[in-house]
């Protein structure tokens, strides 16, 4: 329906917002987005470097020496990898993602010698057993098709004493508050595709309690938790 027709039917502004809301909410994706959406996601997220700086600081807090191997799992366009490099310049950083386009963007954004982009997923991390000091993952968990086997895979790849640092969208966060964030995204030119991508994540997001269960089932020891039920995200750190 065109704008004029909608206006004649008296749909503006409230009813149109409701239509947009439900159209955005009812669409579903398997988490693997188009090249165009990946580009738009990267462009939008570049407006919020502090989100990546915050997580890079948490990772730095958990580093014991400078020459680490860090895996950025579900690295997307490499914005976290870049911030990690700024904080821990001697670390080797491996960005893993199932989308070729995301890896291309990661290579452009995380443009430093010690960065490597690898095609893979949480279910199949293309590195040897006991080879990583830290695996960090930001807002990728809802897209993992098999979380239980993913945490077992993370355990395989970490060195003994290695850590998983997971930042994730909180499933306990009230959906109406999430809509306010998404409205903010639309108003800040995120575009419908990127906003929908974020909303899809909410449907398959987990609570902090569920994540703790995944981790203990995979034999990890939880050493740190941040975030309450009311927060939109939480952080969990666990050790092998």
Instruction: Return residues touching ligand SAM (CB under 6 A).
Output: 31, 45, 73-76, 79-80, 97-99, 102, 121-123, 138-140, 143-144
Question: Measured from the CB atom, is 143 or 214 closer to ligand SAM?
Answer: 143
Structure tokens at 136: 């960090």
Question: Measured from the CB atom, is 17 or 127 closer to ligand SAM?
Answer: 127
Structure tokens at 106: 């990661």
Question: Measured from the CB atom, is 6 or 204 closer to ligand SAM?
Answer: 204
Question: Measured from the CB atom, is 10 or 105 closer to ligand SAM?
Answer: 105
What is the smallest separation between the CB atom of 146 and ligand SAM, expressed in angstroms?
Answer: 8
What is the smallest separation between the CB atom of 89 and ligand SAM, expressed in angstroms?
Answer: 20
CA 73 → CA 99, 200, 218, distances in Å?
Answer: 12, 19, 17
Question: Measured from the CB atom, is 8 or 34 closer to ligand SAM?
Answer: 34
Tokens 């580009």 -> residue: 39
Structure tokens at 32: 């693997």
What is the smallest separation between the CB atom of 154 and ligand SAM, expressed in angstroms?
Answer: 10
Chain residue whose CB lies nearest ligand SAM: 76
Task: Supply angle C-alpha 215, 173, 202, rounded to 5.
Answer: 75
Task: Supply angle C-alpha 233, 14, 186, rounded to 5.
Answer: 40
Cβ atoms of 131 and 62 closer than 8 Å: no
DSSP state of 131: -
Question: Measured from the CB atom, is 121 or 133 closer to ligand SAM?
Answer: 121
What is the smallest separation between the CB atom of 140 and ligand SAM, expressed in angstroms?
Answer: 4
What is the smallest separation between the CB atom of 10 and ligand SAM, expressed in angstroms?
Answer: 37
What is the smallest separation between the CB atom of 158 and ligand SAM, expressed in angstroms?
Answer: 16
3-state secondary structure 156-189: HHEEEEEEEEEEEEECCCCHHHHHHHHHHHHHCC
Cβ atoms of 87 and 57 closer than 8 Å: yes
């Amino acid at each position: 329906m065109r704008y004029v027709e909608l206006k004649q039917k008296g749909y503006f502004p409230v009813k149109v917002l409701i239509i947009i809301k439900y159209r955005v909410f009812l669409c579903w994706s398997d988490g693997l987005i188009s090249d165009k959406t990946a580009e738009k996601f990267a462009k939008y997220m570049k407006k919020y470097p502090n989100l990546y700086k915050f997580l890079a600081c948490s990772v730095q807090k958990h580093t014991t020496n400078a020459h680490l191997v860090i895996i950025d799992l579900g690295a997307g366009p490499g914005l976290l990898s870049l911030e990690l490099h700024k904080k821990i310049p001697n670390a080797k950083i491996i960005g893993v993602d199932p989308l070729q386009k995301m890896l291309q963007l990661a290579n452009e954004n995380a443009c430093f010698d010690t960065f490597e982009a690898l095609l893979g997923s949480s279910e199949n991390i293309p590195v040897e057993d006991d080879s990583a000091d830290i695996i960090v993952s930001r807002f990728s968990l809802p897209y993992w098709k098999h979380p239980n086997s993913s945490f077992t895979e993370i355990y395989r790849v970490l060195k003994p004493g290695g850590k998983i640092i997971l930042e994730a969208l909180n499933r306990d966060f009230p959906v109406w508050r999430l809509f306010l964030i998404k409205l903010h995204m639309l108003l800040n030119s995120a575009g419908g595709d990127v906003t929908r991508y974020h909303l899809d994540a909410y449907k398959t997001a987990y609570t902090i309690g569920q994540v703790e269960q995944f981790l203990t089932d995979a034999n990890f020891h939880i050493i740190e938790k941040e975030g309450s039920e009311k927060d939109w995200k939480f952080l969990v750190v666990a050790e092998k």
